[in-house]
């Protein structure tokens, strides 16, 4: 039989077995729990990013395909009406894609989120550019991300064909025209096409003259009000001065066409007789 002296000793041994550090098995279980807690959100966001990427690629492909179909329809209609009506173009794009598909997509505004206002078609050459702009939203839980803008662009030409008897004739030669010009050029390096741009001090504008002897006036596109920099940009043939070298008034988009395709244009006074 145990004496009373043994009781404190047993109590001490019992306490020593149930106090101290956690076992290796307990530490391992805790580590796995922490790693699992970190892996779940990472896996969730990676999966979400992949799904959003696939949806974005699907939307881009659908809009590009819809714009192509709408462009074909516009090219046929341009024979009678050589102009782009943005609302009609937007409707054709949406119909080609499918309004329900757009409503279920990440396109901001759904079927009403397609904008074709930047599209144009030259009534002289029948050449134009159609553009579908839209925004996509990024639905990430817990984050507020601004919509991202995208656009699809393609060039088209009206299916106008050639005038009867004009195709293949020797005098139906290739000429050069611009979107806004009213003349055609036989020389692709005509000075009216290949602009010679010069920088000039704004204080000298009153004394400067172009090749025709005319004065230079403010460009309606890049000169706003009375604002002028220290230097402006002019051309020998133009009658406008510009604040910016990137102004569209200093650029010429030149197209090739046959004379029979530009019946409303006259020959350039400088190169048309050559």
Is 55 within a domain? yes
Model confidence pLDDT, tens digit, residues 50-84:
888 899 999 999 999 999 999 999 999 888 888 88
Is 52 within a domain? yes
- Does position 8 have pLDDT exceeding 80, yes or no? no
Is 169 within a domain? no
State the pLDDT at residue 64: 95
- Does position 268 have pLDDT exceeding 50, yes or no? yes
Dihedral angle computed from the Cα positions of residues 155, 161, 163 and 165, in that order, rounded to the nearest 10 degrees:
130
State the pLDDT at residue 227: 58
pLDDT category at 9 given cuts 50, 70, 90 is very low
- Does position 247 have pLDDT exceeding 80, yes or no? yes
Is 21 within a domain? no
pTM: 0.49
Range of the domain at 196: 174-267
Do residues 129 and 180 both lie within one domain?
Answer: no
Total structural domains in the chain? 2
Q: What is the mean pLDDT of residues 6-32?
A: 51
Do residues 138 and 54 both lie within one domain?
Answer: yes
State the pLDDT at residue 251: 76
Model confidence pLDDT, tens digit, residues 169-178:
446 688 888 8
State the pLDDT at residue 159: 86
Q: Could you tell me what percent of the chain has a pLDDT over 90?
A: 27
Do residues 149 and 230 both lie within one domain?
Answer: no
Do residues 50 and 130 both lie within one domain?
Answer: yes
Do residues 96 and 47 both lie within one domain?
Answer: yes
Is 230 within a domain? yes
Do residues 191 and 235 both lie within one domain?
Answer: yes
Q: Of 108, 129, 157, which residue is a domain's last?
A: 157
State the pLDDT at residue 96: 94
Do residues 45 and 143 both lie within one domain?
Answer: yes
- Does position 188 have pLDDT exceeding 50, yes or no? yes
Do residues 134 and 44 both lie within one domain?
Answer: yes
Mean pLDDT of the chain: 80
Is 45 within a domain? yes
Do residues 149 and 179 both lie within one domain?
Answer: no
State the pLDDT at residue 248: 77
Model confidence pLDDT, tens digit, residues 221-244:
888 876 566 788 888 878 888 888
State the pLDDT at residue 151: 94
For tokens 């009206």, what's the residue? 158
Do residues 134 and 213 both lie within one domain?
Answer: no
Do residues 131 and 237 both lie within one domain?
Answer: no
Is 234 within a domain? yes
Do residues 146 and 182 both lie within one domain?
Answer: no
Q: Is 182 in a helix, a strand, or coil?
A: coil
Model confidence pLDDT, tens digit, residues 107-121:
999 999 999 999 988
Model confidence pLDDT, tens digit, residues 124-157:
778 889 999 999 998 877 778 889 999 999 999 8
Q: Of 105, 125, 157, which residue is a domain's last?
A: 157
Is 167 within a domain? no
């Amino acid at each position: 039989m145990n004496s009373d002296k043994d009781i404190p000793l047993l109590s001490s041994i019992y306490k020593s077995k149930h106090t101290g550090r956690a076992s290796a098995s307990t530490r391992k279980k805790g580590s796995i729990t922490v790693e699992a807690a970190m892996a779940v959100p990472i896996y969730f966001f990676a999966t979400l990013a992949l799904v959003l990427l696939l949806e974005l690629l699907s939307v881009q492909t659908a809009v590009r395909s819809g714009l192509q179909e709408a462009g074909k329809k516009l090219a046929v209609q341009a024979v009678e009406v050589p102009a782009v009506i943005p609302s009609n173009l937007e409707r054709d794009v949406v119909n080609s894609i499918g309004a329900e598909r757009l409503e279920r997509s990440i396109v901001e505004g759904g079927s009403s989120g397609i904008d074709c206002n930047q599209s144009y078609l030259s009534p002289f050459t029948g050449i134009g550019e159609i553009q579908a702009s839209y925004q996509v939203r990024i639905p990430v839980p817990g984050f507020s991300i601004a919509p991202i803008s995208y656009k699809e662009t393609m060039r088209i030409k009206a299916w106008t064909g050639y005038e009867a008897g004009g195709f293949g004739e020797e005098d139906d030669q290739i000429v050069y025209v611009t979107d806004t010009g009213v003349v055609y050029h036989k020389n692709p390096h005509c000075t009216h096409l290949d602009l010679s741009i010069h920088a000039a001090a704004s204080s000298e504008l009153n004394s400067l003259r172009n090749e025709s002897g005319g004065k230079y006036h403010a460009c309606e596109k890049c000169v706003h009000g009375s604002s002028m920099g220290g230097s402006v940009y002019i051309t020998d043939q133009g009658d406008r001065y510009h604040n910016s070298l990137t102004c569209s008034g200093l650029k010429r988009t030149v197209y090739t066409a046959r004379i029979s395709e530009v019946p409303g244009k006259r020959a350039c006074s400088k190169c048309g007789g050559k």
